[in-house]
Structure 1
Amino acid sequence: MIISIIGGTDGLGKWFASFLKNKGFTVIVSGRDNIKGKEAEKELGVLYTSSNVEASKKGDIVIISVPINVTDSVIKEVAPHVKPGSLLMDITSIKEGPSKLMKEYSNEGVFILPSHPMFGPETPSLKRQVVILTPIEGEINPFFKKIRKFLENEGAKVIVVSPKEHDKIMGVVQGLTHFVYISLGSTLKDLEIDIKESRNFASPIYELMINIIARIIGQNPYLYADIQMHNSQIINIHEAFIKNCEKISKIVQEQDRDSFVENMKNSAEHFGNETKRGLNCSNKAVYAISRENEKLLKSIGKEVGLKHIYSENVHCGILKEVYSDYLVIKQNEKEIILNISNVSLMDDKDLKLWKDENLEKYFTDISVLFKKNIDLSIIIELLAHKFEIQVIDTYSGEKIDKNELSVTFRVYSFNKPELKVLRETFSFIIDNIGGKIRY
């Protein structure tokens, strides 16, 4: 099966090109930037063409992945060239308009399945990601069940709604959310608030709010503008929000405490049990941030593993310093500065697994004499708390006393110079539990 991705040289289109290529499909990508297209072709092992029309003619599935503001024009360009029996999809965050245009401009026999992946190109896989499918009402689409099953088999959560219902919900989930936080960012700018300084006075909720504002305003402003301006439901949502802002502001100006309380109670009643859920979830978020910061502070001077939350690259070394926004880790005699917000602290189990898979391991062998009737399992359990060890040999015979047992331990380390120190510590412990170093 050939999958053509219109706009597959960048962003989410490129993500799907890589993902689908790795699943064994033949993938064609198109894009207007020849340099970027050739780079994608070489990097991903896909086929590149600068012609959207040529790509659409060859695809058994044609996926349109372009910015919202050009989605309509690209649909009009490529839809007439999709061959009958094929599937035409788009992955933009607006569904009503594109759905109608794909239906209008496609040839008879072309199946249509508008979709909206609710994640970005930094996502490592489809596991636990939401994908919304908005099939055309009344259309029998043989691809629908196959696409849904494929996504669910990859771990995605699939939601099926109409294009109109999608845009109404997304007008709130994306449109209202972005509108509120972008407005908050503008307000803080107009108030000339020093954001970094304000964090010193921050409550946990303010800290979360600042992080969310920064997350949104730090991304592609053209995408966010298009989300606001291409959803027909947005204006009504804005008006409802502004109306409530003005109403609450007036209540405050008039010092009408009872009305303020009533307004909050009415909102809480509308939320129902979601108020308790929201409290619990926000508490977890606050607690997680605080707990990781505490763990980092307690880990100064110790070996840690820090995984980058986007690239998943791991930095392993001795944690030297922790500042408000940054930390310093010593790795292979080199100090590396990392942004705390970009990394997560690995637990001991995950760090050990990573080290086993990625680092060279060294060892030293130490033979010990014990009383023959000793319970070796207890000795091993004791030593395993301090060392990574393995019993490689046990011996009783002519070369040692008949009442003794010789046990050879292999002690491991990822740091070769550390083996000498480990050997000395091991010998000290053995002497104190009644054993004798043989060699």
Structure 2
Amino acid sequence: MLLSSATRSLNPQSFPSLSFSHSLSLPLPQPFVPNPSKSSRFPSLQINCIDAAQPFDYESHLKNRYIQSTSLKIAIVGFGNFGQFLSKTFLRHHHTILAHSRTNYTGLANQLGISFYSDPNDLFEQHPDVLLFSTSILSTETILQKLPFQRLRRNTLFVDVLSVKEFPRNLFLKYLPQDFDILCTHPMFGPESGKTSWAGLPFVYDKVRIGDEESRVKRCDKFLGIFENEGCRMVEMSCMEHDKYAAGSQFVTHTMGRLLEKFELESSPINTKGYETLLNLVENTKGDSFDLYYGLFMYNQNALEQLERLDMAFESIKKDLFGRLHQVYRKRLFGDNGEVEKKTRFPQKLLGLCNGSLIEPPLDNARQDGS
């Protein structure tokens, strides 16, 4: 841009966005006048040449547009350990994260680059694309009943990540308006088992209610794509099937981990690989709250059956051990003879063993006399 002034020069400092400037002063040529003796020289003309090139990176512009078109605004309700764990990966995929919890996590959220809202009304007025439930199983219904759904867009996608599936599914169908989409999911890993990588870890999901509109289908796929891109093993199954399988895997795993923790399993200088596996099991389960374990038991109708089967299996092993012990003990006492004595004395010994102690029945008088 070329500027000229007959009276003053242009101050480049008044334009801080300009990159550089060049200044050139030239005298104007003498004009032709009829009477040169009465003419005066014009003031000098100063010309400033300013380069105002603006930075523009077309590739960055395209990248930003792509990120905006593929990103989701995800609001997490329940910003505890698991909610924080998931949010870090969501952020890495360039999604906008909002959070709400009964505990004030404002400081932590600010460190992560997450907007925290203590009031759910303020959170819902941000109109998130996805509302992610990461609450405890026990508090889910209470929290769900208090949420101001009227402040959300009518087609908001509701997602849960609870460890049981039929329970939140039924709650969502009961309390959510018909226009809301429902996706029930269970990342079958946690902050411990998924701290290094999610590759190969199972992610179970059930598209309970997703609208037919292309935008709603794509939104659901974008959310699932986060876990797929992290390398999770994506497993689509009904909530009923999930709870059936989870009772036989997750609940039993937590039960054995808590049992061994109560047993006070400790490391030793001669640990075997199998023993190390048991120690790792205790380490992975002891970090979870008892409320989680109780929720797995209370809100999965298959859990009680698995607990009873565990109890029966333990009793069966005890009977096998004591049965073998009875045979060995009988042979040491009586050898291969004394069939009559076996018939009369062994039931008494068996009764003593079953009561928890080895009680030696009294010998008859003939045996005491040595005859």
Tell me the residue number matched to 2:44.
Answer: none
Tell me the residue number matched to 1:336.
Answer: none
TM-score by length of 1: 0.51
1:49 equivalent to 2:49? Answer no
Measured after TM superposition, the shift of residue 111 of structure 1 is: 0.3
> 2:206, 2:224 → 1: CA distance?
11
1:29 equivalent to 2:105? Answer no
> 2:287, 2:140 → 1: CA distance?
24
TM-score by length of 2: 0.60
SS in 1 for 2:308: helix
> 2:155, 2:107 → 1: CA distance?
31
Structure 1: gaps (5+ residues): 259-439
Measured after TM superposition, the shift of residue 132 of structure 1 is: 1.1
Check 1:23–1:99 CA distance in 2 against 1; reply closer, same or farther (3 A cut).
Answer: same
Of 224, 231, 239, which residue of structure 2 is paired with 1:155? 231
Larger radius of gyration: 2
Matches within 5 A, 1:254-273: 254-255=323-324
Q: Which amino acid aligns with 1:128?
A: G
Q: Which amino acid aligns with 2:208?
A: I
Tell me the residue number matched to 2:207.
Answer: 135
Q: Which amino acid aligns with 1:233?
A: N
Cα RMSD for the two superposed structures: 2.8
Q: Which amino acid aligns with 1:129?
A: L
Measured after TM superposition, the shift of residue 185 of structure 1 is: 3.1
1:181 equivalent to 2:257? Answer yes
Check 1:52–1:182 CA distance in 2 against 1; reply closer, same or farther (3 A cut).
Answer: same
Tell me the residue number matched to 1:6.
Answer: 77
Q: Deviations over 1:141-174 (max 9, x none)?
A: 7244343344323322211111111111111211
Matches within 5 A, 1:39-438: 39-57=107-125, 58-78=127-147, 80-81=149-150, 82-121=152-191, 123-136=195-208, 142=217, 143-186=219-262, 188-189=263-264, 195-196=266-267, 199-200=268-269, 202-255=271-324
Measured after TM superposition, the shift of residue 30 of structure 1 is: 0.7
> 2:184, 2:148 → 1: CA distance?
13
SS in 1 for 2:254: helix
Check 1:231–1:137 CA distance in 2 against 1; reply closer, same or farther (3 A cut).
Answer: same
Check 1:154–1:209 CA distance in 2 against 1; reply closer, same or farther (3 A cut).
Answer: closer
Alignment check: 8 A CA contact 2:202 2:235 kept? yes
Check 1:2–1:165 CA distance in 2 against 1; reply closer, same or farther (3 A cut).
Answer: same
Q: Deviations over 1:265-317 (max 9, x none)?
A: xxxxxxxxxxxxxxxxxxxxxxxxxxxxxxxxxxxxxxxxxxxxxxxxxxxxx
Q: Which has the larger displacement, 145-154 or 40-49?
A: 145-154
SS in 1 for 2:324: coil
Q: Which amino acid aligns with 1:136?
A: V
> 2:85, 2:286 → 1: CA distance?
23
Tell me the residue number matched to 2:26.
Answer: none
Alignment check: 8 A CA contact 1:69 1:226 kept? yes
Q: Deviations over 1:313-344 (max 9, x none)?
A: xxxxxxxxxxxxxxxxxxxxxxxxxxxxxxxx
Comparing both chains, which one has the higher relative contact order based on Cα–Cα distances under 8 Å and sequence gaps of 6 or more?
A: 2
Q: Which has the larger displacement, 51-60 or 107-116?
A: 51-60
Check 1:153–1:249 CA distance in 2 against 1; reply closer, same or farther (3 A cut).
Answer: same
Measured after TM superposition, the shift of residue 234 of structure 1 is: 0.6
Instruction: Give % identity.
Output: 23
Measured after TM superposition, the shift of residue 139 of structure 1 is: 7.2
Q: Which has the larger displacement, 86-95 or 149-158?
A: 149-158
Measured after TM superposition, the shift of residue 89 of structure 1 is: 0.5
Check 1:181–1:126 CA distance in 2 against 1; reply closer, same or farther (3 A cut).
Answer: closer
> 1:153, 1:213 → 2: CA distance?
30
> 2:326, 2:211 → 1: CA distance?
55
Q: Which has the larger displacement, 122-131 or 174-183?
A: 122-131
Check 1:257–1:212 CA distance in 2 against 1; reply closer, same or farther (3 A cut).
Answer: farther
Check 1:164–1:79 CA distance in 2 against 1; reply closer, same or farther (3 A cut).
Answer: farther
Q: Which amino acid aligns with 1:180?
A: M
Q: Which amino acid aligns with 2:111?
A: E
Measured after TM superposition, the shift of residue 97 of structure 1 is: 0.8
Alignment check: 8 A CA contact 2:120 2:148 kept? no
Check 1:149–1:217 CA distance in 2 against 1; reply closer, same or farther (3 A cut).
Answer: closer
**Higher-strand-fraction structure:** 1
> 1:21, 1:204 → 2: CA distance?
37
> 1:51, 1:145 → 2: CA distance?
29
Q: Which amino acid aligns with 2:74?
A: I
Structure 2: gaps (5+ residues): 1-71, 328-371
> 2:177, 2:273 → 1: CA distance?
55
Alignment check: 8 A CA contact 1:53 1:77 kept? no
